[in-house]
Amino acid sequence: MTEAKWSFKRLIELYDEILSHNHKTEIKRELRDEDDLFLLLCFSELLGIPNPVSYYTLELYPSILEKFHDWHLRMGMEKSPLEGIRCC
Amino acid sequence: MSSLLLAVVGISIFLLGYRYYAKFIAEKIYKIDSNFTTPAHKYKDGIDFVPTNRFVLWGHHYSSVAGAAPIVGPAIAVYWGWVPAVIWVLLGTVFAAGVHDFGALVLSVRNKGQSVGTIANKLIGHRAKILFLFIILILVLMVNAVFAWVIANLFVNFPASVLSIFIQIPLAIWIGYAVYKKSRSMLLPSIVALAFMYGAAVLASRFEFLQIDLVKWFGGEETTVMFGLNGVSMAFFVWIIVLMVYVYFASTLPVWKLLQPRDYINSHQLVLGLVILYLGVLFTNPTITAPAVNSGADISMWPLLFITIACGAISGFHGLVASGTSSKQLDKETDAKFVGYLGAVGEGMLALLAIIAVTTFFATGADFSAAYNSFAAASAGGLGNFIGGAGVLASGVGIPAYIASTIVAVIVISFAATSLDTSVRLMRYIISELGTEYKIPALTKAHVATSIAVGTSAMLVLLPEGPNGFGSGGYLLWPLFGTSNQLLAGITLLLVSIWLKKQGRNFMPTFIPMVFVLFMTVWAMGKQVIFDWSGAGTADTNILLFVFGALILGFALWIVAEAFKVLSQKQDPSDMDRIA
């Protein structure tokens, strides 16, 4: 540690650092776990691991359908290019 | 005797211990090296392994180990007079606790930051790891029962403190969310929370309708409420059930939601409490009225004193914190002396303060002897006397004594509640680990393990009968808590000794305290199990205490056997690689 000049502000900072030390670690751990889960959900199929959430994300199908239809029209395709999605 | 003089002498001995004995241990025994690459650097991951400034690490280490235990133990142990208690706290801290905490830290740093349990597995074998798990299991079970009793007892005796404690829970949850979701600093919100709590304490001390006094609601000691329980028994019963329900939720929630924000508020309380009470000693310099030695004790201080004061003289729990988290964050190996040894010194200072508060509380020596007329009375009333005494000390800095008592009760309950949360959580982990070990998958489920932890703890605290009936006898478990804590310290000291022996160094500085604590434990448990609890002596059989006492005695003998076996072996050169 570089020996900073002793001041009241520095003392308060040190005190805060001591007290929040543990808490910050746990928050970081929580965020890391969340991140790990997110990465797994996004990329598991790319890695050849069956994605456990696709069963639930199927529920999103109706809401994405219209957007998809607009998209393929915009792109100059009259019919849906994907077999799995049958908007028209 | 002037208490200020005692405080000055005590603190000087602690500091001399740090200046000379810790230096000797660091240079000649543990041979710590500032160039050694600590696990914090080697395995740096930004979460568990983080090189941390030694002041920050010390503060964190100290606030993790300091709790209600170094207050309760000394408040009971002054029964034998203040001199034996002070001597044990001073010598224990300098020669046992300091070396133990420092040793656990160095041992873990030299073993990739692993915990004492894993190191036991490596140094002695699988058997040692199982032994270790069972010792911790019994320790946390005792902590749960004892601290549930401590809190219930304080709720019954200091009804003005209840409101503040219950206000703390939603405030802590709010802080937890504010910090997690909006990454705010905890400093200001936690000070506001503390202000609310103390505000509630002040109001509740003044206005009786804010006091949650279950004994009064149930109609006092004379009324039978239900199941043949009187008002006091019923109050104990209700509080213990409430605490167990609370702790079930607290220990299954993520730590950042409740446990840590509460810890944060409690750290303010620790600092504030220590500062106010030491200032109180400085300003008022009260006279110690308690007798130096109690010549008419109904039970000998040998060996009971040495297990009554566990935390504050030597505590195995520190080894868990040192090897569990602190060792992973040590920036330089040389910081281990500062963090480990001074962590123990901080605990010793808390114990010294507890002794001063209790021994200055009574106007005359006769008053003290009347309150401490038997060991049972000392055990049941010690903590209440500490709170009274601390209230008087705090009045030295201008806080009215009746408000100060409520606030001190709030502080002690907060500490005890944190210990309770943490140890129920720890018990859940150990039950899961034993489930994996013995292939019982049901035990690895969080809610199954927590239910078992909470259920057994509740049974244990409710069973012993005290003078106030059902549930009020939890203090009978205190010696069992002390011994299981000493056993844990014994096993850590054994591991450090084995490590030192394998390095070809003098292992006496850790071996002698180990022999001492194990000897006292075996003596105390042997004596109590055979003469007090088995029914063979004059006292009636007490199955509960007998079973737990016998278990602890068995574990202690087991450690002695392991120690004898390992330390009598000739040095095996191939072992050097395993440990280096």
A23: pLDDT confidence band, cut at 50, 70 and 90? confident
- With beta carbons under 8 A apart, name residues in chain A contacting B260: 22-23, 26
**In this complex, is the C-beta atom of B63 within 8 Å of any C-beta atom belonging to chain A?**
yes
Please give, rounded to a whole number of angstroms, the shortest distance from the CA of A35 to a CA of chain B.
14
Contact B354, B120 (CB under 8 A): no
Instruction: Please name the helix (run of DSSP H) or strand (run of DSSP E) that holds residue B226, with its range, or none.
Output: strand B224-226
What is the predicted pLDDT for the residue at B534? Answer: 86
What is the predicted pLDDT for the residue at A53? Answer: 81
CB-CB neighbours of A32 under 10 Å = 13
**Residue B197: helix, strand or coil by DSSP?**
helix
- With beta carbons under 8 A apart, name residues in chain A contacting B57: 21
**In this complex, is the C-beta atom of B256 within 8 Å of any C-beta atom belonging to chain A?**
yes
**In this complex, is the C-beta atom of B263 within 8 Å of any C-beta atom belonging to chain A?**
yes
Whether the pLDDT of residue B239 is over 50: the answer is yes
Joined together, the tokens standing for residue B391 give 């209230």
What is the predicted pLDDT for the residue at B183? Answer: 72
What is the predicted pLDDT for the residue at B85? Answer: 97
Q: How far is CA B264 from CA A17, A43, B162, B208, B250, in A?
A: 11, 38, 20, 30, 15
Residue type, A82: L
**In this complex, is the C-beta atom of B61 within 8 Å of any C-beta atom belonging to chain A?**
no
Alpha carbon distance B451, B57 (integer Å)? 34
- Cis amide prior to B303 (ω within 30 degrees): yes
Alpha carbon distance B373, B34 (integer Å)? 53
CB-CB neighbours of B182 under 10 Å = 7
* Torsion angle in degrees (nearest 10) through CA of B310, B323, B19, B486: 20
CB-CB neighbours of B546 under 10 Å = 17
Alpha carbon distance B421, B450 (integer Å)? 11
* Region for residue B63 given its phi and psi (left: phi exceeds 0; alpha: psi -120 to 50; beta: otherwise): alpha
B33: pLDDT confidence band, cut at 50, 70 and 90? very high
pLDDT tens track for A43-64: 888 888 888 787 888 888 888 8
* Region for residue B113 given its phi and psi (left: phi exceeds 0; alpha: psi -120 to 50; beta: otherwise): left
**Residue B34: helix, strand or coil by DSSP?**
coil
What is the predicted pLDDT for the residue at A40? Answer: 86
Residue of A nearest to B187 (CA): A16
B148: pLDDT confidence band, cut at 50, 70 and 90? very high
Q: Indicate the domain borders of chain A.
A: 1-50, 53-88
What is the predicted pLDDT for the residue at B366? Answer: 94
What is the predicted pLDDT for the residue at A1? Answer: 47
Out of B50-54, B408-412, B531-535, which region has the weakest mean confidence (pLDDT)? B531-535
Please state the ipTM of this predicted complex: 0.79
**Cβ <8 Å between A28 and B263:** no
What is the predicted pLDDT for the residue at A3? Answer: 55
Question: Please, which residues bridge with residue A47 across strands?
Answer: none
The three-state (H, E, C) secondary structure of B72-119, written as one string: HHHHHHHHHCHHHHHHHHHHHHHHHHHHHHHHHHHHHHCCCCCCHHHH
- With beta carbons under 8 A apart, name residues in chain B contacting A17: 53, 56
- With beta carbons under 8 A apart, name residues in chain B contacting A4: none
Burial bucket for residue B274 (CB in 10 Å: 0-12, 13-18, 19+): middle
Alpha carbon distance A80, B133 (integer Å)? 62
B576: pLDDT confidence band, cut at 50, 70 and 90? very low
Residue of A nearest to B59 (CA): A18
What is the predicted pLDDT for the residue at B109? Answer: 96
Mean per-residue pLDDT for B96-102?
Answer: 97
Whether the pLDDT of residue B579 is over 70: the answer is no
- With beta carbons under 8 A apart, name residues in chain B contacting A15: 59, 187, 271
**In this complex, is the C-beta atom of A20 within 8 Å of any C-beta atom belonging to chain B?**
yes
**In this complex, is the C-beta atom of B60 within 8 Å of any C-beta atom belonging to chain A?**
yes
Mean per-residue pLDDT for B263-270?
Answer: 90
Burial bucket for residue B48 (CB in 10 Å: 0-12, 13-18, 19+): middle
Alpha carbon distance B580, B110 (integer Å)? 7
What is the predicted pLDDT for the residue at A4? Answer: 56
- With beta carbons under 8 A apart, name residues in chain A contacting B113: none
**8-state DSSP, B27:** I
Contact B313, B92 (CB under 8 A): yes
Mean per-residue pLDDT for B190-194?
Answer: 93
Question: Considering chain B, what is the average pLDDT of its residues?
Answer: 91
Residue of B nearest to A28 (CA): B47
Please give, rounded to a whole number of angstroms, the shortest distance from the CA of A29 to a CA of chain B.
6
Task: Please say whether the dihedral angle defined by the alpha carbons of residues B118, B119, B124 and B129, taken in this order, is positive or negative.
Answer: negative
**Cβ <8 Å between A26 and B255:** yes
B186: pLDDT confidence band, cut at 50, 70 and 90? confident
- With beta carbons under 8 A apart, name residues in chain B contacting A25: 47-48, 50
What is the predicted pLDDT for the residue at B259? Answer: 87
Closest CA to B104 of B429, B492, B484: B492
Whether the pLDDT of residue B286 is over 70: the answer is yes
Closest CA to B416 of B137, B59, B197, B148: B148
Whether the pLDDT of residue B580 is over 50: the answer is no
**A36-70 in b/e burial notation, b at 16+ Cβ within 10 A?**
eeeeeeeeeeeeeeebeeeeeeeeeeeeeeeebee
B337: pLDDT confidence band, cut at 50, 70 and 90? very high
Q: How far is CA B242 from CA B149, B210, B245, B558, in A?
A: 12, 19, 5, 38
Burial bucket for residue B254 (CB in 10 Å: 0-12, 13-18, 19+): middle
Least CB–CB distance from A14: residue in B55, B186, B261: B55
Please give, rounded to a whole number of angstroms, the shortest distance from the CA of B444 to a CA of chain A.
20
Alpha carbon distance B359, B293 (integer Å)? 12
CB-CB neighbours of B570 under 10 Å = 4
pLDDT tens track for B341-387: 999 999 999 999 999 999 999 999 999 999 999 999 999 999 999 99
What is the predicted pLDDT for the residue at A19? Answer: 85
Residue type, B428: R
Joined together, the tokens standing for residue B544 give 């509960």
Residue of A nearest to B50 (CA): A25
Joined together, the tokens standing for residue B478 give 């205190």
- With beta carbons under 8 A apart, name residues in chain A contacting B261: 23
Contact B201, B164 (CB under 8 A): yes
Alpha carbon distance B198, B204 (integer Å)? 10
What is the predicted pLDDT for the residue at B572? Answer: 55
What is the predicted pLDDT for the residue at B496? Answer: 96
Percent of all residues in chain B with a pLDDT value above 90, rounded to a whole number:
72
Least CB–CB distance from A28: residue in B46, B185, B264: B46
Mean per-residue pLDDT for B224-228?
Answer: 72
Joined together, the tokens standing for residue B57 give 């690490």
pLDDT tens track for B316-332: 999 999 998 899 999 99
